Amino acid sequence: MFLPKLRLLAAILIATLFATGGSAFAERTVTDQLGREVHVPDTVRHAVILQHQTLNIAVQLDAMDELVGVLDEWKKQLGSNYVRLAPKIADLPMPGGLTKVNVEELLKLEPDVVFVTNYAPPEMIRQIEGVGVPVVAISLLKVPSSEAGKLNPTVADEPAAYDAGFAEGIRLIADVLNRKPQGEALIAKATENRKLVSDRLAGLAEKDRVPVYMANPDLSTYGHGKYTGLMMRRAGARNVADSIAGFKQVSMEDVIGWNPAVIFVQERYPAVVGEIKADPAWATIDAVRNGRIELMPEYAKAWGYPMPEALALGELWMAKTLYPDRFKDVDMQRQADDYYREFYRTSYAPPKP
């Protein structure tokens, strides 16, 4: 009796290994962007993503089939129109957010790995790891370990920190989700237009840069040390809020004093455009007087951290918007369609006003 049972158990074990690609008990070690060594399964089948930047990248890596849970603020962070690019997202459980997690709800999803933001509270990471689930932190920024966990880290060389951190972060996400080739293609596409923009803006004097303000809800904006400021600079703008560090709320007096010639508003905050136009406090600002409040397209994600489409398309769109004569031959619709077909598997169709 004992030998047949032993053979049956062995057969079940072999069948399980074949069904799981032979990796049921295999794992590997990756280093996340907090510098932590994390043991993850060789093959990740169930992932939970509690950071909108990583979620956006995972969609572009065509990894939606592996996602079993997302952050609760995905619609606020990605915009309500984002669901058209990843329809499945609307039905996924939301066991936590950027800085919190419901461990009981998380465990119901049986995740192989959880992605969090670099500034997720250490206690949140310990909670998840305490129930046996590996945690991978993503920042898309290369900084010293002393700055790695901060929302607004001090960055000595912004271009270098973001270029290195962007590539490192995408490779890490792609590696964990078994999408290495897609990750390399995404990095290559993201940097493809960088030379075009820099060549067309060559010789632009500092005094000739267009003064620009990035308007978010509640007078919050981006200063230095955030990708948005670097995005503006690469597009030939002068970020009027460069004197502040990171992402902060400013005063109306600040904005009036800066007097930007152009105001950009992210696609996820369309109501801000109407609020600015309706508020008399903004009326004296050059951008408002001259009708230069620009609602950014979906692909120009002006976030604190760089997104692939912001590098590939957003910087080019912003440069063309500020210096149309230098980019007359650039067809942004065609550029966007090509990108969206390759990484979102659909054409780019701007939402109707």
Contact yes or no for 341/312 (Cβ under 8 A):
no
The 8-class DSSP code of residue 9 comes to: H
How is the chain split into domains, by residue range? 25-186, 194-343
Contact yes or no for 305/142 (Cβ under 8 A):
no
Full DSSP string of 226-272: SHHHHHHHHTTEEETTTTSBSEEE--HHHHHHH--SEEEE-TT-THH
**Averaged pLDDT, 322-350:** 94
What is the reported pLDDT for 185? 98
**Averaged pLDDT, 221-227:** 93
What is the greatest pairwise CA distance in the chain?
91
Give the architecture (CATH level 2) of 25-186: 3-Layer(aba) Sandwich (3.40)
What is the reported pLDDT for 46? 98
Strand partners, 179: none
- Asked if CATH classification 3.40.50.1980 holds for the domain at 194-343, the reply, yes or no, is yes
Q: What percent of the chain has pLDDT over 70?
A: 92
Query: At 237, is the pLDDT very low, low, confident or very high (cuts 50, 70, 90)?
Result: very high
